[in-house]
Structure 1
Amino acid sequence: MRFHYSFQKVVDLKGNEKTQAEWLLSNALGELQAQEKSLVELMEQRNEILLALQAAAERRTPMAMIREMQDYVDYLDNCITRKQGEISQANQEVSRKQDNLNTKALDEKIWLKAREKALGIFKQNMNLREQNELDEMATVRFAMKPL
């Protein structure tokens, strides 16, 4: 006789949900890393423009060009501020996905434990049934043995 767990489809579903939650977390982490990389690039750009602005001030560059460079630095500052907000949102999303994964993993663990318990009970019943059959066979042999 084979073990058949009546809630196996639920166990499979919980496993699939956990896998999906892992994928979603992985995507959220990828998005966070992309946002952080973009921020680093913006900051590097800003630093390059600041160095160019400083060099331009020392070379008697026309005021219009200096003003244009300063406007670009201000634009990059706004981009950096916006990017920091996006990173904050991405961090919150990662946190939500992590919490979701933890919940799904706990659900799966609960159902797997229930399945293990049912399997243990099944094995115990099978052993008991087998022992009863062996006892019965021994009793019949003893009863049939001539005196």
Structure 2
Amino acid sequence: MRFHYTFQKVVDLKGNEKTQAEWMLSSALGELQAQERSLDELTFQRSAIMLSLQNAAEQKAPMAKIREMQEYVEYLDICIARKHKDIRSAHQEVLKKQDQLSTKVLDEKVWLKAKDKAETQFQQSMILREQNELDEMATVRFAMKSL
């Protein structure tokens, strides 16, 4: 006789929920990394423009060009500030997804432990049943020999 756990579908569901939570965390981490890469690009662009601005000032470039570059630096500063906000938001999302994953992992562990406990009880009852059958066979043999 094989062990059949009554709540196996629940155990499977909890495993699927954990897998889905892992995917969601992975997605949130990917978004965070994308935001950080974007910030790095903006910072690099700002550094490049600042260097160009410095060179333009040294080479006595037209004031309109220098002003245009300064406005672009200000625009990049605004973009960088927004990107910092986006990164904080993405980081909060990652923390939220990590919390959800840990909850799902704990939930799955509870159900797996319940399944293991039920399987252990089943095995113990099978061993006890086997032992009782062997004892009964020994008693019958003993009774047959004494007749």
Length-normalised TM-score, structure 1: 0.99
Q: How does 1:57-72 map to 2 (within 5 A)?
A: 57-72=57-72
Per-residue deviation, residues 48-93 of structure 1 (Å, max 9, x unmatched): 0000000000011000000000000000000000000000000000
% same residue: 72
Q: How does 1:23-102 map to 2 (within 5 A)?
A: 23-102=23-102
Trace 1:120-131 onto structure 2 (pairs within 5 A): 120-131=120-131
Partner of 2:144: 144
Please list every run of 5 or more consecutive structure 1 residues that lacks an aligned counterpart in the other structure: none
Q: CA deviation at 1:146?
A: 4.7
Deviation at 1:145, TM superposition (A): 1.0
Is there any run of 5+ residues in structure 2 with no aligned partner, and where?
Answer: none
What is the TM-score normalised by the length of structure 2? 0.99
- What is the aligned-residue RMSD (CA, Å)? 0.7
Matched residues, number: 147
Match of 1:12 in 2: 12
Deviation at 1:18?
Answer: 0.1
Aligned-partner Cα distance in 1 for 2:8–2:93: 32
Counterpart in the other structure of 1:109: 109
| 2: CA distance, partners of 1:127 / 1:35 | 59
The CA distance in 2 between the partners of 1:131 and 1:12, in whole Å, is 34
Instruction: Tell me, in whole angstroms, the C-alpha distance in 1 between the residues paired with 2:74 and 2:24.
Output: 36
